[in-house]
Structure formats: structure tokens, C-alpha cells
Structure 1
């Protein structure tokens, strides 16, 4: 095949090359049953004019069961009409015939990697181009914003800075060179796989440039809402089964979550759309799995409903047994974590660890806001955990919390940085993925290089562990100064006077906040997140998108800890809880029989079973 295509006497046409590449994709990327199903689906769905069979926008939307309320069908059809032109992207948009849909399904499901060994960056470029519009007006608006940003005077840390002008990727000089992505690796790899000569490799590739290209903010918002919806979808699961997620308050939650994600790329108040520099800068770290939901969604083309054996006339329909019914996507109900936030987490944490695998270990609203109840509920879990904390930003001018808020504020260094988002978006959600078991910290922090600190609202951001230091996680109880839970801050030193009354009610020293850190006070009433971009980070790296200093001080509304794992982890934790319950009951029933209560208590304290010397059942 390769020699016939590369023959100098009769070079192959674009149509012939497309046909050969589609045949290669179909043969090597799909199983025989999948290819048979694809052909059956295309035949039953296609419209035709004269000898041309093709799929229309409403046909694809109906087959994939895209919710009308999301108004995402035109955006998706724009994507597939571009990708269908592969490898001759300058010819896009194209009519979606059989060969074009082979390209679409192979690329959208990442099946193409079986024959084109290219990294995720190649698909990322292709997806950007498929979403972008080449609008001169939008380009001029963005250019004007760049010019204004470039001409403005730099602001000092002491000056007020808004969330709007904090995105360094919006500033002049930070944009990637357009020519850097014009040479599409996927296209070159596809042509090389067919042993094509250089004639088509150096064709009119200028038509595929990203110069002046931008993804409109509203289009991307609608696409993100769809991606949140399909994130947990399986290849044989109908999207219509998630209908309740696009109605009423669930729809509002979906829209709000999409807004938090969109704000990671741009400030929608000042920018009309997303440039490739922004897309390419934010996606790898913050959303490495953003488009994974497309895999299962487009695999629907590889399963024909006409070949469903359960629908045969002579088949006997049997109800699913309890063992075969899959567990719900989220087995427990939380205040912070819902299905939309769960999908948001899956954009940077592998969904196989999340969907149907999370268990609510601790909820402050249910178990009480105390380090003791946190320790009881969380310390026995021997698998990764996700901690989430939600709150309301504290005002810089008022102190409605009274003495407790004043004590917390007094324990912090003076605030030098502005807030990270506008005043009208004062609800914040932070969290961390901790893969090591929790324990009380005395000399060293715990956690490893796989620990991740993140923010979910009002702006999505991920701060991976760095190698600057290992101050990843600390769970510090009295008599240490300023006890609480911290991520990215050095371990506080123990108080020299733990018995003094003043040390119990006021901090003996200011908290030492790490460059990128989250601190929760021991009463679980207040928290502070610090992002000192100037310092270039500490235990956690600085933001890839928000290249500026900011700090969020907030009152805590709720804290949740979710355990990742299966039945075995749950069994071990349950057995440990039962053992501790039996030990506690046994201690209550101890009767030494001396008749001297004071003497009995003294003996129990010496044994470490009660009183200040009690070691308890901690696994720390």
C-alpha cells in the first residue's frame, strides 16, 4: 500500500489518502464487532443526497442524546465537522460521511493512539482548533487587551489588584508563538503511517494556523457543562439516564461548576474567548482528563442497538440481581461534594478512583467540628483521602465573628495580598488529595510527592507537590502553638508554657504560612489559603494560570473527608471502629473493687487508660 501511494508517476489524491487512512483506522483501531456496529449505526442514521450518505447535526445530537437545555449541539457539531477533515484540516468543515466519521470516532475516543504514537499535546492542539473560531473582531479585542496590559505600569504588592488583571497568561508577551503549533504532529504522523511523500506535508498548512483563533467563552462554557455531565458515562450507558442533572437546582449547580472551571482560563468579564496560549497553559496541569468523557460518549457509535441480544423476540428479559446492579456514582450524600463537583475532581484525578468508589468518612456538619471527631473518623482509613473545606470569605473591614475571629486574625501575619476573586464571588472551596494515611504530627509532616492541593471555587486551580520541601500535611494538636490542620506550612513549634491559661486561649506566636498553603484552625471555624507567587512556591507549586499573589481568609461552613477505595478498605475501617468501641466500653466497666475512687483513678491514669496520660487508640 505504501509504495503505491508514494509512487511519483501517479500521486494519490486527497480523497484516496483519506480513504486509505480511514480504512487503516477502522482495521487497527476497532474490533471487528465494533466496526460492524459502526457500519450498522451509520447506515441507520445517515441521510443521503444522490450517492452521498452523511450525518446531520440534529441526527448526531439525537443519537448521542445531547440535552437540548445545554444548547451544546452546534458546538459539538463544529468540532466533529473540523476533525472529520483529518488529515487535511485546511478543508474543514466537511460533510460527515462514512470515512469522515471513522476519523471522528477514532480521534474522539483516542483509539488513534494504537497506530499514531503521539502524546496528549497533539490531540490538545487538534481539539483547540476544532473549537476555535477565526473572528477578526474577537482577535482585535484580545489584541487591544494585550496592548493595554503591556502599557500599564506594574503594581506593587501593596497596591490593590483585582482578580480580573491577575491572569499573567492574558498579558502581552506571554502568548505562545502561533507558528509553534502550525506543524500538526498528528497530521504528519498520519501521513507518515501511509508512507506519503512530502507533497501534502507542506501543503497549504497556513489555513490551519491559530493566528487570530479563539474559543468563544460561551461556547466553552456549554461544552464544559456537557463534559461535566458525561464524565462518569460508560460506553453502553445512555446519557438520558442523567436527565435529573439538567433540571431545576441540579442544572444551576452544573452551570455554577462550569463557571468555576471557565474562570481558570479567562476572566469572562474582560476577555471574549480563550486563546491557544491560555488553553495550552492551563489544560495540562489543571485539567489533564477534561476530555476523557468524549471517549465513552463517542464509543456509542461502536455499539449498535440493533444488535442488542436482549431485544430479540425469543429472548427472556431477566431483572438484574443486586450483585449486578452497579452502585451509585456517589454512595453517600455530602454538603460540599455533589455529582457536579465529583465530575470536576475527575478532570484532574483519575475517575476510576472516584466514581462509585468514594465513601464519606467525616462531615463536620454531622460528626462535629473538632479535631477529635476528625481523628476518630479519618485516621483508620488506609487508602487515599480527599479533604474538602468550604467557606465564606472574611471581610477586610469587619469582624462579625467576634472574639474567635479576632483571635484567628491576630494569629496570622498582616495581610499583604489581595483576594483571589471579586467580592461578589465570596464562596470558596479548597481541598487536598492525600494518598498516605492520616496521623498526628509531632516532628515531621506526612504526605508525599503525590499529594495535591487544589481550589474548586470560585476558580478552579491545582497546586501539585514540589520538591522545595516536604511540608505537605500536618495534623497538630495542643500543646503545640497554633494547632490545626495545614497543607504546605512548616510544622509549628510546641508552646513553652502549655499549662498557662493564656496559651490555651491565644496563640503564643504568629502562624508561619507556607508560600502556597492551606491552614485550618483547631476549632474548624476559620481557614486561610495563601498563594505567594513571588516566592515561586514551597511544598506545593504555584498556579499555572494565576501568576500573582493572593490570599483568601474565610470562615468555614463545612469540612468533609472522603475515602477512596473499595469494600476491603471499608471493612478494615469498620473493624477498627468496632474494636475501639469495645475498648471504650471495657474501660467504662472497669471496677477494681477497692472502694477508693481516687485510688482507682490514680491506677488507671498510671496505666494510661484515663486522664491526661491516656494514650487512647490512636494509630498515629
Structure 2
């Protein structure tokens, strides 16, 4: 018996056997019995057959998920899926997408693998990068190819799934002249390899490392810029998606100006990863730095998209209950819209962009417009009356056009007066190639209610300062400096008023009152009191600010701009809106009561006498004497 046991142990399981065992484990522990039944029914209804093999093709997956043809992203999505389908043996990619492989895909892309691989304290970021990357040794060569040459199809693993977008354009340089390889790329990311080892270890197989995929060198690996832009557009589109919601319900975002706006928003996100004019693709060190800081939730939409595989249209529980049929679901026109108010800055694409770093559960169908400069007036008084009584988090958005460089001599009037209040030290523009009149959008997520600033700023360490246009960037709060936000109305005791974020509160000294210069923080946004001009400062070389410096722009820059629109949105539900509405109604009643006091009685002479005593009309208007 002992010899038989030894012979059994000496024969390791094959890769196919381990894959099947892991798929069974994922299926049992990551899906309910109803979800698994639906998943198999969906797969069997979609699969093509070649002999005993049943598998899914690219167009089948794209059609089932409702991926719009106008985005031209189905090949990119299929490359990602066929790579992840090879898990845990990633060197076998691209995989034929049978049932076991699709179980891997859905489990990983919906983040359900954590239910099984609890020991593998890793995320899927490195795995997603490798699933989208193109590998070619020529990219890591220091030599240049002959003019007009392009890489051969045979040199590109998985070429059938990458598409023509991955090929370098004629005449381009081999390698990354503007993005030299770094030491941290030579060893490659370990996250996906740890995930592989955790998966094999979960099968209690002691020889798991021998079967694990060898660490792949990331030297020369990149996500082609065009492919990445297409996927970003899809991620923006699916960000608000529910598991049983069809992408066809967002068809209005894929035509005309809406499609162009979606593409422009995607380009702003793409700009945080690379300059498309200088680099052909995104390398891992940049991907790994930007995603967790500036857009940690950007892949969340994949969860709802791939959960479509868990809902079979052939499964109708109501028919089995024997009771009277349930009323039909509400028609699409009655579904609560993602965004109830439409104004200048915030639209559905910007809303999706915000959900890349603010949880979508706080945004979609939860935002209420509190203040709009276009509708309520560009004044701090109007801002205060609309915003200060909202008790839940708020999002401030401000957009404008960059002011011309001071060397051009084009400043006069209010613009010149505003620039005179800024410190004399100036930094270059914040976006590469950006010039005068470029559109800029900044914003702040504030978790605490607004209040007046006297000696100290307000806010907490969940405050986020961010830029949305022309480049996506997020500046997270520091825990050492708490000068998060300030609101200072013009008065006789303050010479510099306005709203600022990351700027120190003004000291109550006579010296400050004589100063007309705004004290800018190292990473800060300052809006002057008339809401005509603003200034964003990023002093990368400085330390100790209320907000952390950028991970994608490691240099000093400053954008001075003329404000075109400013909005404040409240994050919250019906309870917060009810409280705000009650306060507004109370203020309206008080204002009406003050307006009508002792007036409107029908006695014109009595009303006139009262106004004369108040000094508003007649001979007493200059002094208002009661005598």
C-alpha cells in the first residue's frame, strides 16, 4: 500500500487537470447554485462546437455583452479575456475559451476570486496590465529599425487578438526614446505571479511553483495607446452599469456630440498615462503608479458587465412559483436617471470619470445640484445660501480658460488685478503643449459640511483635490497639514477673500490685513471672491502641503485661469435633500415675512409713513430719523 501511495504521489497532475480542479473550486465557492446554473445555460447557448470542444469566439462575446461596434474595442476586450482565461498558466495564453476558462474570466474580472484566494493578498492590477500588453523584444532594443519598417506579425504573441492598433506606425523609433526602461521593470510585477501561486496553493499541491508561469520580463511590454484609449472609452461607458442592465440603454451616449465628448473625456484620462505624441504606449511602471492613486475604481464597471453571464434569459422563476405573475419591470423611460440635472460642467461622461476615484455608490443617482454660478449668480453670498446647509459630502467643480502668459502683455483690468494678488514666483503650464485659452477643469470632493473660516481651515483627510481636463489627476489629502479648505467672505477685516483648498488660513494680524497677496499652498486651488479668476499651483519640489503631489507630473507647474462656470453638487440621498429643502423653505418664509412686515395692509398712507420713518422715501430718506 505504501508503494502504491508513493507511485501516486510521484505522478503530478497535468495542467489541464489543475485548471479543471481550480475552475471547479471557483465555481463552487464563488457562485451560488442559481448563478452557476445560469452561467452554464448562457455558455451552452452561446458556444460554438468543434468536435467535443465547446468554446466562445470574439464576436460571440462582444454581441452577448452588447459591446458597441462604434468603439472598435471588441478585439482589445477579447485579448484581455483570452489571456485571463489561461489562468493560472498564463504562459499558455491566449486560451481557447471553454467553460473552465470562462469561469476563470468571470471569477477574476468580477473580483470574486478573493473568496477562494484569501491568502493571496494581491490585486488584479498587474494581471490586467499583462492581459492588455503587447510584448516584443524589438521595443527593448537600443537600435532603431530601418526607416519605414514595422514589426512582423510573428513577433507579436497573440497577434490574432491584438489587431492592427498594436503595430507601430511607419517610421517610428523602436523602443521608448522618451520613456526609458527602469530597473523596476526588469524584474516584472510580482502581483500576478503571487496570484498564480496562491491559486495553485489553494489546491494543496506542494509542487505548485514548478507549474507556475515563469515571471515574464516587463522590459519592452506596453499597452498600445490606441487600444488603451478604446478600453478607457468602454470603461467610462460601463461605469454606472448594473448587472442586469443592457449597454443598449446608453446608446444615446454613442452618437454625435455625445460620442465626441466621450472620446474627449477618455483622452483626458489617457493623458495621465502618456503623451500620445511622444510615446506609443503605456508601460507598467506608469500604469502601476497612476491607477491606484488617480483611478482606483476604473475597472469596477467590468464586474457588472461580466456578471451578465450569471443571468440567463431562459430562467424565469415566476413561472415556477404557481402564483399570479409578477407585474412587468418598469419601462426604461421610468428608471431614475443617472444625473437629474444638466448644467455646464457635469455630464454623464464627467460623472463616469469621477467614479474612477470616488465610489459610484456615492455618485450615480445620488447627486443633487446645490449651486450653479450660471443660474444662481457668481457670488459668495449666493454660494453660501445654497451650499452651507447641506450636511452630506459635496463636490465642487470649476472650469475656465487659461490666461495668457504674462510675458505676452495681454493682461489688463480685472485679470491684471488678480495676477497682482498672486506671489511673484511663477511656474510653467501644467499640461504639455497646452497654450493660452486651453480649457481647464478642477474640482474638490469635500466630506464635511461647509463653514466660514476664521483661524483654522475645515475639511478632513478624505478630501480630494483633482483635475479633470485636459489631464486627469488626483491629489490626495495629507495627514500632516490640515489646511484642506477655507471660505472667507469679503469684509473690512480681510483684504484677500475667496474660496481656497490647500492654502493656509489667514492669520488675524495687522500685518496680514495690510497684505494683498494670496498665500498659496504647495498643492492648492484658489478662487477669488468674485468667482472671475482662479489659480491652481503644484509646487512639486516643496514639502508639507495639505495635498500630495502628482504621481504623473513630477514637476512644478501653475495654471492661472478665467472662470467660466462653477458648480457644487451634493452627494446624498432623500434624507439630505429633504433637510436642505426644509431649510430653503424656512429661509424663503423668513424673507417673505420680513418683506411684508407692516406692509400690504391696504392703508397706503400708513405704509408711506412707515417707509419715511425708515428713511427709504421722502424727506427723511437720508437719515431715517424717528423725530
Q: TM-score range by the shorter chain?
A: 0.7 to 0.9
- Any conservation in 2 of the 1:81–1:94 contact (CA below 8 Å)? yes
Higher mean C-alpha displacement, 425-434 vs 363-372: 425-434
Residue 274 to residue 197, structure 1, CA distance change in 2 (3 Å): same
Correspondence for 1:485 among 499, 506, 528: 499
- Provide the residue aligned with 2:451 in structure 1: 439
- Any conservation in 2 of the 1:105–1:299 contact (CA below 8 Å)? yes
- Provide the residue aligned with 1:283 in structure 2: 291
Aligned length: 571
Residue 5 to residue 326, structure 1, CA distance change in 2 (3 Å): farther
Once the two structures are superposed, residues 170-216 of structure 1 have per-residue CA deviations (whole angstroms, 9 ceiling, x without a partner) of 46657444245277111011001001122x41347336332321111
- Provide the residue aligned with 1:576 in structure 2: 583
- Provide the residue aligned with 1:542 in structure 2: 549
TM-score (norm 2): 0.85
Correspondence for 2:415 among 386, 405, 421: 405
Cα distance, 1:269 vs structure 2: 1.0
TM-score (norm 1): 0.86
- Any conservation in 2 of the 1:492–1:511 contact (CA below 8 Å)? no
- Provide the residue aligned with 2:232 in structure 1: 224
Cα distance, 1:139 vs structure 2: 3.6
Correspondence for 2:363 among 354, 365, 369: 354
Higher mean C-alpha displacement, 420-429 vs 209-218: 420-429
Cα distance, 1:536 vs structure 2: 3.1
- Provide the residue aligned with 1:76 in structure 2: 77
Q: Distance in 2 between matches of 1:351 and 1:281?
A: 22
- Provide the residue aligned with 1:423 in structure 2: 434
Residue 297 to residue 6, structure 1, CA distance change in 2 (3 Å): farther
Correspondence for 1:265 among 265, 273, 277: 273
- Any conservation in 1 of the 2:196–2:212 contact (CA below 8 Å)? no
Structure having greater relative contact order (Cα 8 Å, sep ≥ 6) = 1
1:301 aligns with 2:313: no
1:252 aligns with 2:264: no
Once the two structures are superposed, residues 352-407 of structure 1 have per-residue CA deviations (whole angstroms, 9 ceiling, x without a partner) of 00000000111111111111111111111110000000010111044656311011
Residue 580 to residue 302, structure 1, CA distance change in 2 (3 Å): same
- Any conservation in 2 of the 1:530–1:552 contact (CA below 8 Å)? yes
- Provide the residue aligned with 1:161 in structure 2: none
1:476 aligns with 2:488: yes
Q: Distance in 1 between matches of 2:319 and 2:555?
A: 59
Cα distance, 1:481 vs structure 2: 2.0
- Provide the residue aligned with 1:56 in structure 2: 57
SS in 2 for 1:560: strand
Q: Distance in 1 between matches of 2:408 and 2:587?
A: 44
- Provide the residue aligned with 1:526 in structure 2: 533
SS in 1 for 2:37: helix
1:551 aligns with 2:561: no
Cα distance, 1:339 vs structure 2: 0.5
Higher mean C-alpha displacement, 105-114 vs 584-593: 584-593
- Any conservation in 1 of the 2:120–2:195 contact (CA below 8 Å)? no
Residue 82 to residue 443, structure 1, CA distance change in 2 (3 Å): same
Q: Distance in 2 between matches of 1:269 and 1:120?
A: 37
Cα distance, 1:334 vs structure 2: 2.0
Once the two structures are superposed, residues 572-616 of structure 1 have per-residue CA deviations (whole angstroms, 9 ceiling, x without a partner) of 1011011111111222233498956576579xxxxxxxx9xxxxx
Q: Distance in 1 between matches of 2:594 and 2:332?
A: 40
SS in 2 for 1:202: helix
- Provide the residue aligned with 2:115 in structure 1: 114
Q: Distance in 1 between matches of 2:358 and 2:510?
A: 42
- Any conservation in 2 of the 1:483–1:492 contact (CA below 8 Å)? no
- Provide the residue aligned with 1:162 in structure 2: none
Q: Distance in 1 between matches of 2:383 and 2:545?
A: 26
Q: Distance in 2 between matches of 1:580 and 1:122?
A: 50
1:55-454 aligned at under 5 Å gives the runs: 55-117=56-118, 121-140=122-141, 170=179, 173=182, 175-181=184-190, 184-198=193-207, 200-203=208-211, 205-206=213-214, 208-308=216-316, 318-320=327-329, 325-396=334-405, 397-398=407-408, 402-421=412-431, 422-423=433-434, 426-454=438-466
Higher mean C-alpha displacement, 56-65 vs 473-482: 473-482
Residue 75 to residue 201, structure 1, CA distance change in 2 (3 Å): same
SS in 1 for 2:10: coil
Cα distance, 1:326 vs structure 2: 3.6
Question: Rg larger in 1 or in 2?
Answer: 2
- Provide the residue aligned with 1:12 in structure 2: 13
Structure 2 unaligned segments of length 5 or more: list them. Answer: 146-175, 600-605, 617-622
Once the two structures are superposed, residues 315-354 of structure 1 have per-residue CA deviations (whole angstroms, 9 ceiling, x without a partner) of 8684556999541101111211100110000010000000
Q: Distance in 2 between matches of 1:269 and 1:309?
A: 54
Q: Distance in 1 between matches of 2:239 and 2:253?
A: 13
SS in 2 for 1:450: coil
- Any conservation in 2 of the 1:412–1:510 contact (CA below 8 Å)? yes
Residue 388 to residue 106, structure 1, CA distance change in 2 (3 Å): same
SS in 2 for 1:344: helix
Residue 5 to residue 64, structure 1, CA distance change in 2 (3 Å): farther
Once the two structures are superposed, residues 41-68 of structure 1 have per-residue CA deviations (whole angstroms, 9 ceiling, x without a partner) of 1101000111110000000000001000
Residue 109 to residue 412, structure 1, CA distance change in 2 (3 Å): same
SS in 1 for 2:9: coil
Higher mean C-alpha displacement, 558-567 vs 267-276: 267-276
Higher mean C-alpha displacement, 266-275 vs 380-389: 266-275
Q: Distance in 2 between matches of 1:33 and 1:103?
A: 18
Higher mean C-alpha displacement, 550-559 vs 201-210: 201-210
- Any conservation in 2 of the 1:122–1:185 contact (CA below 8 Å)? no
- Any conservation in 2 of the 1:371–1:523 contact (CA below 8 Å)? yes
